[in-house]
Amino acid sequence: MNLELKDKVIIVTGGARGIGGGISQVLGAEGAIVAVVGRNSADNKDMVAAIKAAKGRAFPVTAELTKPKDCQKAVDAVVKKFGRIDGLVNNAGVNDGIGLANGNYADFMASLHRNLVHYYLMAHHALPWLKESKGAIVNIGSKTAETGQGNTSAYAAANGGRNALTREWAVELLPFGIRVNAVVVAECWTPLYEKWLNSLSDPAEMLQKITRNIPLEQRMTTTAEIANMVAFLLSSVSSHTTGQLIHVDGGYVHLDRAL
């Protein structure tokens, strides 16, 4: 299927590694021009090099998105380079374990900046260009907003905010033909996930415990599976889909995990 993403300029925050890296690679393979935005310039350049090696096109943008001014600078850099923005993927963030008992005001607010505030700011600054292109926004979210997890109040709150902003923006941007959707992730295999597992006393046992609770095939979701859904939602092939929270999770959130 031709997703009609060729030559579309799409920003992917946190686009150098993990889920964001998978999204960047899939979009590059679909012919989009990927603006890889993240704090680590070396990682950004490595991802851009990988996309180019696969005959795709990409551009690195170094930005610390917890700093509001860097959000503006990132959008400005993309517009200066390409003169347009056709899509925005808000993805950057981290499950940072700021809980109710073990957190405080400063940590909670810092986590919201890491995981939610830049979603708003990137969309806000990109909006004039998305209006011109009738582009699309995809927000990456987490199951923690719906299932809870324990000891991660700030991250759960941020993801609840991501879901709410998805629906709010879908309504606000209807007059401009801008579609807004979210892809909600449960258990996805990334280098960061692997690093966490390896910090435990028995990584293999924990991985087996986790995958037993994933109804479809008892396995982790891959970054490519997340990325393929994101590409679809950015494309004109999904032209009448907006305001949706789409779970790519092997049925983790909505099916009975006793299965």
Mind telling me the catalytic residues?
Answer: 155
What is the secondary structure of 221-242 as a DSSP string? Answer: BPHHHHHHHHHHHHSGGGTT--
Task: Sheet containing 57-62: give its strands across.
Answer: 57-62, 33-38, 9-13, 87-90, 136-142, 179-185, 245-248
CB 12 within 8 A of CB 21: no
Nearest Cα to Cα of residue 226 among 30, 19, 32, 14: 19
Give the single-character DSSP code of 36.
E
Q: For residues 237 and 252, give the distance between their C-alpha atoms in angstroms, rounded to a whole number.
A: 26
Kindly state the tokens that stand for 238: 């999904």
- How many CB atoms neighbour CB 154 within 10 A? 24
